[in-house]
Amino acid sequence: MKDISDQPPFSPGLHSDIAEGLSLGRAADILDFWKIRPAWFRPEAGLAGSPERCLFRTVVEDETGRSFILESLDPRTTERRRDIARALDFLGRRLPEVRSYLPLEDGSFILAEGRRFWQVSPFVEGLPLQRPEYAGEGWRGPALADFLIRLKQASAELPETSPAGRFSVSEFVRSLESKIRARDAALHGRILPAFRYLESAYFEKEAGLQTAFAHGDYHPLNVIWTQDGIAAVIDWEFCGLKPEAYDAAILVGCLGMEHPRYLAGDLVVELIAALKKRAGYAAESRDAFFDLVLALRFAWLSDWLRRKDAEMIDLEAVYIDLLLENREFFRRNWAL
């Protein structure tokens, strides 16, 4: 056990500077439903993933030295979060990188306490990524591919209660294009060539693509890394039934967003090689892979628009154009 002599002991009301005034005593009352006795908060613990996916979150350490993430949920998301927790419970029994939420005594995963809703999961220590250099490190490619391959296998028998409603990339892109056309003529002119390409090359084909359960936001920042592999995959809020190469396409697009040179770098080369060898994607999925990478950049564009991030909106439009202009090069090099 690490040296804890310089940290304050448990005391009700201690550390009231935590988000929304959550004291350690208040946290203890909540965590008692999971039979966890917190000793202190860990404000120094780096929480990976997006903080926007809950109202707030914090890391607490219990009396035995174990650390947990305590999350307060938006009430509007509780049904979806219950479905995700059930899916992760199933997958966590089959994949060590999936750290499921801790169940309560009745087997449920969300505590309704007053007007608040809470979830608890194990906190996994990891190593930070050095950005953007990590995007060219070839050894990460097989590790990322291996998890996707095993996720596809492990999720084949997910219960029907899992969040498996099929997501249509095409319908999403069509809807976004319509909104941009109505609200921002300049931006619409920039993304229209890519939209027209997808309209002719991808939209009609999507319905015929094989589907699989996907993480939904699979990129290296949603991975907890060790020195030479993956300790955990986090942030499953967008999981569900999607085109089978969805996660790989999200991943490749994100690596190129770090810098376009990484689109042909060692990580992408090793990732594609491993997927070719073992993923078992159908021929139609392999053929549509570039188109899916391009289409999913519209999801990121939507996110930048939601945030009103003018710099990232501009950068995404440039990136979409870069992908489109070099599509033949990428189709050859990414041929799964």
CATH 3.30.200.20, the chain: domain bounds: 19-122
Q: Angle 28-31-32 (CA atoms, 0-180°, nearest 5)?
A: 80
Please spell the DSSP secondary structure of 238-287, one letter per residue.
Answer: T-EEEETTHHHHHHHHHHHHH-GGGGGSHHHHHHHHHHHHHT---HHHHH
Tokens for 146?
A: 């291996």
Q: What's residue 20's pLDDT? A: 52
**Would you write out the chain's pLDDT as a tens digit for each of its 336 residues?**
222 223 333 333 333 334 456 888 999 999 999 999 999 999 888 888 888 888 989 999 999 999 999 999 999 999 999 999 999 999 999 999 999 999 999 999 999 988 899 999 999 999 999 999 999 999 999 999 999 999 999 999 998 655 556 789 999 999 999 999 999 999 999 999 999 999 999 999 999 999 999 999 999 999 999 999 999 999 999 999 999 999 999 999 999 999 999 999 999 999 999 999 999 999 999 999 999 999 999 999 999 999 999 999 999 999 999 999 999 999 999 987
Q: Where in the chain is the domain with CATH 3.90.1200.10?
A: 133-333
Are β-strands 240-243 and 67-72 bridged in parallel, bridged antiparallel, or unpaired? Answer: unpaired
User: Would you state the pLDDT for residue 160?
Assistant: 65
Place of tokens 């613990």: 45
Listed in sequence order, the residues at least 6 apart from 167 whose beta carbon sits closer than 8 Å to its beta carbon are 216, 240, 241, 242
In one letter, which amino acid is 20?
Answer: E
What CATH number belongs to 19-122? 3.30.200.20
What SS3 state is found at 336?
A: coil
Single out the residue of 235, 306, 297, 241 nearest to residue 53, CA to CA: 235
The count of C-alpha atoms lying within 13 angstroms of the C-alpha of 31, restricted to the half-sphere facing its C-beta, is 27
Residue 316 CA to residue 298 CA, distance in Å, equals 8
Name, in order, each residue with C-beta under 8 angstroms of 331's C-beta and a sequence gap of 6 or more. Answer: 290
Nearest to residue 129, comparing CAs of 217, 223, 63?
223
CATH number of 133-333: 3.90.1200.10
What's 22's DSSP letter? -
